[in-house]
Structure formats: structure tokens, C-alpha cells
Amino acid sequence: MSPQFDHQQKAPRPGSGQDPPGSVGKRGRTADECLLGPRAPDVPDFTDSDPWRVLRIQAEFVTGFETMANLGPAVTIFGSARSPESGPTYQAAVETARLLAREGLAIITGGGPGIMEAANRGAQLGGGTSVGFAIELPFEQGTNPYLDVAITFRYFFVRKTMFVKYAQAFVIFPGGFGTMDELFEALTLIQTGKIHDFPVILYSSDYWGGLLEWLETTMADRAKISSEDRELFVVVDSPEGVRDALLAAMDLPAGPC
């Protein structure tokens, strides 16, 4: 197993008014809030803090690019951190990742529990490379134990770039706000030509059915998306269906079961 990569944040400079990223300080601010949120009255002028923050952001990109440069073909799997191990969706994610790993694909997740853990677990069962892009949050439990390569990010937008940059396909299992964010970011990037037209596969027609109906009967009917946009993703209901859809879309030869 490859060593884990977990670059650490240096302590904030005295008088900077910054809380350590991923921690809850006196104002409870995370690294993203320090960057994106309104500036607190007692924080020094931005010229004293933001240029240094840019260097930390740059360092996160460099670390991610350097670590992932030789990964090879990969699939990013998104889904809820709240899916229990005993549940059918967790088990389906394990099997899906196992099948994809057997086809020579690395598996990328957010490195946490639930569907992320299931996919990383399946990647190792299938003999593939298991990658986790974790995020420092006050309430996160840390990374799951099924990772060959792990990188912990302070900034959500850097982490999200890595999910997209090193994947040739996206598989979306049932999830909440974070999963929806990742789904629609991928679709937007494809729709606008910012990334290649990679396969986007939604797992479970039962879970996604309501959203799909709204897209087709409200969003499309009111001309907010085109008919071609509806073709940017497919919905499947089995791990084998995910594998077959990806092999067809990516034009990869079938490997062992």
C-alpha cells in the first residue's frame, strides 16, 4: 500500500486573526470561510493575510498535481457519507468499485465514510488503486481505512478540482447536498465544454427519479436546459450496469469479472 499524503497546515501567524484550518476557533471559522466569508472587524487588512493564503492554496494544488500525476485512468465515485455499511447502497458501491477496478480503473472518492468508504473498499478488493481526497472539517471523522493514496485538503474548491481533473467518468450514488453539488458541477463543466464529455452515471432510478422528472417536466419544459443536456447522464440500477455503461462510453476492453 502506498504511503498516505497528509500535508499539514502551519500554525497561524501571530496577530493574523486566523483559526487553524479544519478547527473551530473563537469564531468557528474554517479555511474556506476565512477566504470566502465576510471579514471580521478584528481581522487585519486583507493585504496582511490574503496573499499568504494564496500561497497556501497554491501549495495544495501543487501537492495534488504532483501526487496524482501518474495515476492513470480513473473514475470518481460520489455519494452520501451517511450510508450505513449494512445498507444495500453501501454494498452496491463496494461491488461497483470492485468491478471497475477489475477493468483497470483507479477509484477516487472523498476519502470519508459511507459511500466513499464503500467505493475505496471495493477498489482494493478489485486490485485497483484506491484514492481519497479528504477535507478538513470540524465534524468530519477523518479518512476511511481503505485508501492507497490519501490527500487532505483545507479548501473545498481545490478538492473539487482534483475530483474532476483526474477522472474519466463520474458515478453518482444517492447522497445529499454535497453529492448534488458534485453532480451538477460535473454536468455544468461538461455542458459548457470546460471538460471532456465524460460519462456521468446516476445509480438508482428510484432515488433519482423525482429529480429526473423535475428536470424533464419543469426545467426542460421552461427552456432552462436543452434536450441535449438531458443526454449528459444516464441512470442505472446495478453495479454491472455501471460497469457496462462505462466500458461502452469509455471504449475500454472488457476485463475479468
Q: Give the three-state DSSP class for 76.
A: strand
pLDDT-derived band at 46 (thresholds 50, 70, 90) equals low
The CA distance from 39 to 27, in Å, is 11
* Residue 257 clears pLDDT 90, i.e. is over it: no
CB atoms within 10 A of CB 96: 32
Q: Which three cell numbers stand for residue 42?
A: 478584528
Give CA separation, 205 vs 77, 156, 216, in Å: 17, 28, 14
89-136, pLDDT tens digit by residue? 999 999 999 999 999 999 999 999 999 999 999 999 999 999 999 988
Question: Would you call 29 helix, strand, or coil by DSSP?
Answer: coil
* Each residue's pLDDT tens digit, 47-85: 456 777 888 899 999 999 999 999 999 999 999 999 999
Give the per-residue pLDDT at 33: 72
pTM of the full predicted structure?
Answer: 0.80
Other C-beta atoms closer than 10 Å to the C-beta of 89 total 20
pLDDT value of residue 120: 98
Contact 163, 64 (CB under 8 A): no
CATH architecture under which domain 73-250 falls: 3-Layer(aba) Sandwich (3.40)
Q: Is-contact 81 115, C-beta < 8 A? A: yes
CB of 60 within 8 A of CB of 22? Answer: no
Q: Are 79 and 96 in contact (CB under 8 A)?
A: no
pLDDT tens, position by position, 5-29? 343 333 333 333 333 344 334 445 6
Q: How far is CA 174 from CA 37, 171, 209, in A?
A: 29, 10, 11
Reply yes or no on whether the pLDDT at 137 is more than 50.
yes
